[in-house]
Structure 1
Amino acid sequence: MATWEAKGAAKRQALLEAIPAQWRLPHIPSPKEQPNVTGDYIRQFLTPEEISATEPSAEEILVNTMSGKWKATTVVKAFSHRAALAHQLTNCLHEIFFDDGIKQAEELDAYLAKHGKPKGPLHGLPVSLKDSLNVKGYDTTTGIVGLIGRPAEQDSELIKHLRSLGAVLYCKTSVPQASFAAETENHIIGYTLLAQNRLLSSGGSSGGEGPLLALRGSVVGIGSDIGGSIRHPAALNGLYGLKPSFRRLPIRGVTRVMEGQDQVPFSLGPLSSSASGLTLIVKSVLQQQPWLTDPRVVEIPWRDNIYQDYLNATKGGKQLTFGVMRDDRFVRPQPPVNRGVDILVKKIQGLGHKVIEWNPPSHSEAMKLSLATWAFDGSADVFSQLGLSGEPIVPSVADIFGNEPRKPYTAEQIAETNISIWKYREKYADYWNSNPVDAVIAPTYPHAGIIPGKLRYGYTFYGNILDYSVGVIPVTTADKSVDVKVQSYEALNERDNLVSTEYDPELQHGAPIGISIYGRRFEDEKILGILEALGSSNVGTTAPSGPPSHL
């Protein structure tokens, strides 16, 4: 019987062999030799036509594929080439099915030629997928060696909708072991790196989507989020992201650990290089009435009036009120993140909106409650999956689940935790009702780029405990000449001290900074409207040196 090491190595080799020979790089520089592989670095391996096909926004691509000006086949081949390059440089893929994507694109081209109209609103749009989504005929390992060689028997529900809408599916992206950590590391593809600085992490757990999108190997991807797994990669990789409320998009047929634990909800949502890319996915899928086939989805159609109201209002149509939460009073952000929040606040104020300080119930309490629900089964599910091959748990996953199974919660303990969660939600609702705002600005991470092995804290747990709609907008990049380390820092506690002292301006230089904007439950259209208005506005600040601000 093959060892877990041999199985992982064989899968890793099979991935490389799935890349056409002409797309394989003869030399892959070390991260130290070539930290940033975005922009001109990756363009050197592409034709001008491939660059033109892959660098517009999702909306711009669709204008061309739906009109027939561009062949869907040409677009998908170009994205497949960039995805192949991205994987070789950052370890961002788990499954490659470029040939299937090209075949699907050929069928779309034939459909348009025959009927004179596109198949659907996503006709010819390449969409990448987090590995937890099942695609018939391909593995869904979720970073577990023991799940290699067990291809899915059918598509996840969301995959079915995407296909019927005309989207082209061509790859699945890397995740942490068990798809449950904020660093993407497993025994199949190794460690997934940040494209803008390969000395840093791409985040997780939708970690492969980050560098794939940053390198334009995809224009829009589907991730999942139970503690920040869409928002982390979006913020760290310079992308837009949306964690919708639970039950908004279909999750039927998705592979995940701790299936059945829904008190802290799990959501699927999009990541993209543009805010409009997020809207395209959510709007199109909801037009499919997914509640008819997934009983967990609530019957809330796309509400264009809300989206348009906040799109226009945020641009200056009327004054909105934003709260700003600069930290969670337990850990403060590193200097580039503080600057990112300031940039966004000034941008919003410059558009004529009001910004007030926001001091809600403790967000660190939300983290504690989330971690409690993840321990309900004593980590039995995770260790059962690891036991399929005998592979050891990786350090970043062990930080969550421990190094061995623990005693599971009793029914009484689970009930007590659930009651505490509802009380927390009530407290938060009372605070919001007493301090009414349209949305809240908050840092996504205290870290300005994650140094591998030095992830100390995250701010994102509130979004899942409260089941709020949370978006991420790219704002700036870390700049060593401006974001200097604070001397004589007065730490709030030991964790805060670690985050502060481990900040390395030199090492983290160039890391993207994404800031969160959140609303209440089922306010997905509101957040999408705000993200798109802010992203398209020309009001803002640029980074003092290095790449310009995204705003």
Structure 2
Amino acid sequence: MKLFGLPVSLKECIGVKGMDSTIGYSSLINKPALEDSVIVKVLKSCGAVPFVKTNLVQGMLNFESSNPIFGKTGNPKNVNYTPGGSSSGAGSLVGSGGSVLGFGTDIAGSIRNPAHLCGVCGLKPTMQRLSKIGLQGSLPGQSCLSSCVGPLAQDVDTLVLAMQALSCPLMSQLDKNIPPLPFNDELFQSKLKLRIGYYTNDGYAEPVPAVQRAVLMTKEILEKAGHTLVPFKVPRIEDAMRILSSALFADGGKTCMENLKNDLVDPVNRYLYWRLSCPAFLRPIVKYVVGWGSPRIAKDLMVYGGGDRSVYRLWKIQAETEKYKKEFFTQWQDLDLSAVICPPFPIAAAPIGSVEHTTALTSYCALFNLLNCPCGVIPVTKVSQADTDKLKDHKGNYGDKWDNHNKKVNENSTDMPVGVQFVGLPWMDEICLRLMKEVETQILLQKHES
């Protein structure tokens, strides 16, 4: 019982017998789960003590944290700043010391984003390392972007402990989709020097200076440890963003709109709601007008809502997904990489309510849901005054409204946490955790010496 007596927090969507999982929708109030979800059953079998459910954003498709039932959640470093989302309560509670170990879910960065913004550690495992049976989802049936359950903690050792405990026979006995794959301690403990790719800008959303600096800091730490770091370029990033947005809303936004039709729309979801509800006949007109200022935003608008919802279109999206994955992993293989480091998010924490849900915010996380890569985030640094000063020259890759948004929201983010994302090949979760631990150890040593 590796987790004996350990208090564990659970994202509100994770099923616990006798408790609601509303995901911020009033229509799901007073509909308690009839039994524990598989992840809760396994946690209890490991000796863990689930003690609280944590807040999330309405519908779990936003990087803010608010819903009409439970209200807002603040960042543990500054309660007036967003903790990110959608596993916002998990990031905030762990970051404030209220929970040693929390569990969230991640479909486009919902674990890694709050880990980055709250200054904690988080892991999005390979899909089907941990069971999702018994969870309330926002887009049931959607399978192109892999949704995962994963842990958040104050240090990497606790993430490792959680994955060691949960990679047990009971998980695959209760959920036949989960392979009986034990945690690979040999891979995690390996001292073999690795070849690692890195990038600070994916070409879609240029991160603010603090986020780029964090990646370069991590690159330097890994090089000093004897690893080889080589530049990596994300292939066809605009196509990747079109594919993943198309996959996420292949139903034309119908599922989201059905959930919201008799409910209050939380203010943080207004922009998403507008994109999904805009009538099909109006979209070409809006696209034409918006296109004068940003072709990128105009193209994105046509992906959300309305239009063709046929099985034929869905199959085309799935075929494009497989083609893109082959291209991406061929490039990875050609460079002989074991892992990649990159930003987890283009911005640092910003004031609550200031972060619009734009596609430009999703590229660094959602890409790896599309690819089903395991990814982890650890805190590396904080936004410095020098980082903030550099914002005045920050233009972004397109110089459009989305780039200006990312610049503006971080104008007062000095001293907020900044994380780095570690990415491995599918089923190589232990390599991510190994590198996260190595970098974490060196950062702690540097702090001690200073």
Secondary structure of the structure 2 residue equivalent to 1:498: helix
Give the whole-Å Cα distance in 2 for the aligned partners of 1:501 and 1:285: 40
What residue is the counterpart of 1:449 in the other structure? Answer: 349
What residue is the counterpart of 1:41 in the other structure? Answer: none
Q: Which has the larger radius of gyration?
A: 1
Deviations 1:148-186 (A, max 9, x none): 111111110010000111101111111111222111111
What residue is the counterpart of 1:334 in the other structure? Answer: 208
**Inter-CA distance 531–501: structure 2 relative to 1 (3 Å threshold):** closer
**Inter-CA distance 153–214: structure 2 relative to 1 (3 Å threshold):** same
Query: Match for 2:220 among 326, 333, 346?
Result: 346
What residue is the counterpart of 1:390 in the other structure? Answer: 263
What residue is the counterpart of 1:409 in the other structure? Answer: 309
Per-residue deviation at 1:492? 2.4
**Inter-CA distance 292–124: structure 2 relative to 1 (3 Å threshold):** same
Query: Match for 1:196 among 37, 55, 77?
Result: 77
**Inter-CA distance 419–291: structure 2 relative to 1 (3 Å threshold):** same
What residue is the counterpart of 2:255 in the other structure? Answer: 381
Structure 1, gaps ≥5 residues long: 1-119, 543-547
Secondary structure of the structure 2 residue equivalent to 1:502: helix
Per-residue deviation at 1:278? 0.8
Deviations 1:69-98 (A, max 9, x none): xxxxxxxxxxxxxxxxxxxxxxxxxxxxxx
What residue is the counterpart of 1:271 in the other structure? Answer: 152
What residue is the counterpart of 1:369 in the other structure? Answer: 243
Give the whole-Å Cα distance in 2 for the aligned partners of 1:200 and 1:191: 11
Deviations 1:237-284 (A, max 9, x none): 111111111111111111102212112211111111010111111110
Give the whole-Å Cα distance in 2 for the aligned partners of 1:348 and 1:336: 19
- Contact 1:203–1:450 (CA under 8 A) maintained in structure 2: no
**Inter-CA distance 263–331: structure 2 relative to 1 (3 Å threshold):** closer
What residue is the counterpart of 1:115 in the other structure? Answer: none
Aligned ranges 1:20-169 → 2 under 5 Å: 120-169=1-50
Which range moves more in the overlay, 253-262 or 219-228? 253-262
Aligned ranges 1:497-508 → 2 under 5 Å: 497-499=403-405, 501-505=407-411, 507-508=412-413
Per-residue deviation at 1:517? 0.7
Give the whole-Å Cα distance in 2 for the aligned partners of 1:484 and 1:252: 47
What residue is the counterpart of 1:468 in the other structure? Answer: 373
Q: Say whether residues 1:175 and 2:49 are aligned partners.
A: no
- Contact 1:335–1:484 (CA under 8 A) maintained in structure 2: no
Deviations 1:330-373 (A, max 9, x none): 22111111221121111112212221111131344333222111
Give the whole-Å Cα distance in 2 for the aligned partners of 1:539 and 1:386: 45
Per-residue deviation at 1:490? 4.5
Give the whole-Å Cα distance in 1 for the aligned partners of 2:174 and 2:130: 11
**Inter-CA distance 304–233: structure 2 relative to 1 (3 Å threshold):** same
What residue is the counterpart of 1:525 in the other structure? Answer: 430
**Inter-CA distance 140–189: structure 2 relative to 1 (3 Å threshold):** same
Q: Alignment identity in percent?
A: 28
Runs of 4+ in structure 1 displaced over 6 angstroms?
A: none
- Contact 2:17–2:34 (CA under 8 A) maintained in structure 1: yes
Secondary structure of the structure 2 residue equivalent to 1:484: helix
**Inter-CA distance 471–410: structure 2 relative to 1 (3 Å threshold):** same
What residue is the counterpart of 1:429 in the other structure? Answer: 329
Q: Say whether residues 1:255 and 2:129 are aligned partners.
A: no
Give the whole-Å Cα distance in 2 for the aligned partners of 1:397 and 1:293: 39
Give the structure-2-normalised TM-score: 0.87
Deviations 1:412-470 (A, max 9, x none): 10011000100000100110111112211100111021342334423211111100011
**Inter-CA distance 398–134: structure 2 relative to 1 (3 Å threshold):** farther
Structure 2, gaps ≥5 residues long: 279-304
What residue is the counterpart of 1:358 in the other structure? Answer: 232
**Inter-CA distance 142–320: structure 2 relative to 1 (3 Å threshold):** same
Per-residue deviation at 1:540? 7.0
**Inter-CA distance 147–496: structure 2 relative to 1 (3 Å threshold):** closer
What residue is the counterpart of 1:480 in the other structure? Answer: 385
Letter in 2 for 1:226: I
Per-residue deviation at 1:530? 1.7
Give the whole-Å Cα distance in 1 for the aligned partners of 2:410 and 2:60: 28
Q: Looking at both structures, which has the greater relative contact order when contacts are Cα pairs under 8 Å and sequence separation is at least 6?
A: 2
- Contact 2:208–2:394 (CA under 8 A) maintained in structure 1: no
Give the whole-Å Cα distance in 1 for the aligned partners of 2:157 and 2:270: 33
- Contact 2:208–2:407 (CA under 8 A) maintained in structure 1: no
Letter in 1 for 2:355: K
- Contact 1:175–1:184 (CA under 8 A) maintained in structure 2: yes
- Contact 1:146–1:386 (CA under 8 A) maintained in structure 2: no
Letter in 2 for 1:332: E
**Inter-CA distance 398–495: structure 2 relative to 1 (3 Å threshold):** closer
Letter in 2 for 1:234: A
Query: Match for 1:514 among 404, 415, 419?
Result: 419
Letter in 1 for 2:429: D
Give the whole-Å Cα distance in 1 for the aligned partners of 2:442 and 2:27: 48
What residue is the counterpart of 2:287 in the other structure? Answer: none
- Contact 1:334–1:503 (CA under 8 A) maintained in structure 2: no
Letter in 1 for 2:44: R
Give the whole-Å Cα distance in 2 for the aligned partners of 1:181 and 1:419: 27
Letter in 1 for 2:242: K
What residue is the counterpart of 2:120 in the other structure? Answer: 239
What residue is the counterpart of 2:285 in the other structure? Answer: none
